[in-house]
Structure 1
Amino acid sequence: MRINKDTTIVGNNVVLIPYKKEHVDKYHEWMKSTELQMLTGSEPLSLEEEHEMQKSWSMDENKCTFIILDKNKYVETRNEIVSMIGDTNLFFANCDDRLCAEAEIMIAESWARGRKCGWEAMLLMLNYGINYLGVKQFIVKISYANEISLHMFQKMGFEEVSRSEVFQEVTLSKIVDDNWIRWLQNNLGEFQIKST
């Protein structure tokens, strides 16, 4: 998405940066994992297809994607590729109003799981969606097998709205209201949004 192409969000444990062509090779390696394919409901793509997707997403006004970096590793190495641990996305069905967004999160590096990196990255993305994109409702679609994500979003206040036996997934929703915005702010901790 053009709006976030120069945006960096720095949290306590993670840094969110725009998805750029230099990140594609590592992302492609992640997506060869059958476990990640199952958890994210993704199909494997060729490296060329992955590069085309990154290019189209960077210009698509209906998609907002950030790569998640491990902040400590990034501070230590100053190397985005080495520090990459996952990604987070917002998808809009209607680019004219952007009132509703489908949110996604993936922590691809197993060593980064269980450290609240996904929690923090998702809160940062939700906050960005509300304050910079005008989102009023978020939905998530989670595989039945992905109990960790399901539990995380329920803890964030999302509620189940439907189940699909065909796709083996649960759809959860969260309406943005003042109480939830306060909850989000209280749980975010210190962060900065920078233009690079």
Structure 2
Amino acid sequence: MRVNEDTVLRGQRVMLVPYEPHHVIRYHEWMKSEELQKLTASEPLTLEQEYDMQHSWREDNDKCTFIILDAVRWDQGCPEDQCMVGDVNLFIVDPENPTLAEIEIMIAEPTCRGKGFGKESVRLMLFYGVSTLGISTFQAKIGQENTKSVQLFNKLHFKEVSFSPVFEEHTLQWKVTDEERQQLLDTVNFTVKSYRNMKVSENQEINNIQ
């Protein structure tokens, strides 16, 4: 989606930034991992295919993705591609029902797992989906062996609605009530910034160093 092309959601531990071409090489390296391919039910892509996928996520109206950055490392001056820890995605399940979306989360960097990055990223994406995209029902499809992701979504009000023995996959769902929606809007701690301005500031700092 182009709606988030200039949006940065800044939490306590993470920053969600739009998926840009300069993120692709690092992302492509992640997805060579057989572990991540299994956890995300993904097939390995060529680098060219990965660039095509990035373009699709940017242009298609039924897809929304953010790259997750380590906010602390960013504050310490770490280059953006070295701050990347994963991604979080939403995509519209049924074009005739734009209020229903599937959510995916991947913390690709092993050293960044178990530190709250995933939970905060999902909460920020749920907020964005509710407040900006008008989503009222979220689904998450999670492999049987990915118990940590199941536990994460359970903590965020998602309930299992089905299990596929064929695909060995749980489907969890959260239908957002008016009370839960207001609670989400009131409790998510974040700021919204311009990605374009963030990049301008970064380039100015690099020029000053040079």
User: Normalising by structure 2, what TM-score?
Assistant: 0.89
SS in 2 for 1:89: strand
- The secondary structure found in structure 2 opposite 1:135 is coil
Q: Equivalent residue for 1:39?
A: 39
Q: Percent identity?
A: 48
Give, as a single letter, the amino acid of the residue that structure 1 aligns with 2:29: E
1:181 is displaced (CA, Å) by: 2.2
Cα distance in 2 for residues equivalent to 1:42 and 1:104: 12
Q: Which has the larger radius of gyration?
A: 2
Match of 1:60 in 2: 60
- How many residues align? The count is 195
- Give the whole-Å Cα distance in 2 for the aligned partners of 1:147 and 1:136: 25
Letter in 2 for 1:191: F
Correspondence 1:1-196 to 2 at 5 A: 1-95=1-95, 97-185=97-185, 187-188=187-188, 190-195=189-194, 196=196
Q: CA deviation at 1:179?
A: 2.6
Q: Whole-Å Cα distance in 1 between the matches of residues 166 and 151 of structure 2?
A: 21
CA deviation string 1:5-51 (max 9, x = no partner): 11110001000000000000000000011111111111111111001
Mapped partners of 1:161, 1:182: distance in 2: 24
Aligned CA RMSD, in angstroms, stands at 1.3
Distance 1:114 1:39 in 2: 16
Q: Aligned AA for 1:15?
A: M
Shift of the 3–123 alpha-carbon distance from structure 1 to 2, 3 Å rule, reads same
> Offset of 1:79 from its aligned partner?
1.5
Q: Work out the CA distance in 1 between the residues paired with 2:143 and 2:97.
A: 28
Moved over 6 A (4+): none
Structure 1: 5+ residue runs without aligned partners? Answer: none
* Deviations 1:103-127, CA, capped at 9 Å, x for gaps: 0000000111111000000000000
Q: Distance in 1 between matches of 2:113 and 2:183?
A: 23
Structure 1 stretch 120-129 or stretch 69-78: which is displaced more? Answer: 69-78
Q: How far 1:193 sits from its partner (Å)? A: 1.5
